[in-house]
Structure 1
Amino acid sequence: MKPPYPSKISPTPIVSAAIEIRFDISCPIDAVYGLVQHALKQKFHMSEKLPVAHIPEDIRVQDNLIDQPHYRLFNNSTPYSILVGPRVFVFVYSKENFDDTNDYPGWSEFIKQELVELYKTIFALDFIVQVKRLGIRYGDFFAVPNIFDHTEFNLLNKDGKRKDTAKTQIVQTIKKDDTFNNIVVSNNSTFVMNGRAIQGSMIDIDTFMGELDDFMSNYEVYLQKCHEINKELFFEMLQKEFIDTFNPIYGDEDAN
């Protein structure tokens, strides 16, 4: 569809969101988790080791696994969690283990506000030297058999007939302004919620940017820019008639 884009659609198809920063540090790599866990223990009081944390440190460093999350901080009463590694911090929303009453809370109303508070907390710990990468990734699931029936593009064969009526996955990288965007569109996806598998279609957009020398003093600007571009790319690829079935609201109020 063409702009203006909705500020909110309902029910939202968002089933996952991950906002990641990668950074250089001034402390030993094995100290990062302890610093972050202690600072966030009141909000995320449970933790678990991720598989990469069980690999010996010398191998993790050699295989560049140092940039991967090693621990997960969480609270069973919410669909949010934190992934922490020696040089990475990720805020995650996931709908997989929660029902429709735990829907995506919105960017302006919750996610951005939560990120601002989290970044204030971890930056105050003074172990991050420089943020090297910001990434915002959204996963949207549609309980429709073929999302390509509702996109602004189709795959055609040499005879001009559609090729995307069969199982199809399109992967594309787009540069927009200062961001790079990895986009995956699939009409053959399975979303599992509370152990129940649902067949449908998926749109996954990973928007990221690097060389962020002033991120720690301007992170709200960078967050908003990446989110807006990610959202624009989502709406650009879908037909307005399809978006209209999601009760779109226009204007800045209650933005997703």
Structure 2
Amino acid sequence: MPTNPPAYLKIAADLRAAVTSGDLAVGAKLPSETGLMRQYGVSRTVAKWAISVLKGEGIVEGRAGSGVYVRDTRRLVRHAQGRDRRAGDGLTSPFAHDAARAGQQGTWEHDSHHDQADDRIAARLGIAPAAPVMRTAYRFFADDEPTQLSTSYEPLVITQGTPVEWPEAGAAVGVVARMDAIGVRVTEVVERVSLRAATADEVEALHLPARASVHTIERTYFAGDVPVEAADIVLPGGRYDLVYRIPID
């Protein structure tokens, strides 16, 4: 015999429906906990849980001393098929393409430095542990909202002393274009996608609610059988759609 859902889920569903229908538009303030208590005849704890559900989904955000408001939930779409383009007109950054398709401006900050590969990265790149690599940490923004983190590793045995040694210092943008510039032809990219809880650092960097979930992508570029770049990518669960198109031979 079916049972009724908990009261906090019913309240969350009603609020979610109001956001979806536009009755609560982007920037609108949600009813207060006291208002929800009065409207639904529930305790403050139940009202708080209902709002926490929506915060965890990225639909609303709390503003200290002000209340809870509906967020802009436009999602970026990450198409795996064809996202890495070779030289041509227009933008060559895959993230810039993702943001532009969503009608947003894509920007990023980065920090590059020489490092040594730990055991995990060494295994992915097929190099010895402690071998020299270029490590670059990125934070990506869509219309000034942080939407992605990425840490990439490139073996310096391939890039050191070339015009693309420092990933953001040359004219070429993106792994494929940069490797093409030094005669290394990328032929394949492998991605492993997982879902997990966000770390405290990720919550802070991506402006996420507590207990949020993130997609993680372990990406490796290959030139033939040789790995030329490995990256760990973090995407907020409520801000991205991951699309994989797989041709059938």
- TM-score, with length taken from structure 2: 0.25
Task: Work out which structure has the larger RCO, using CA pairs closer than 8 Å and 6 or more positions apart in sequence.
Answer: 1
- TM-score, with length taken from structure 1: 0.25
Select the structure of larger CA radius of gyration.
Answer: 2
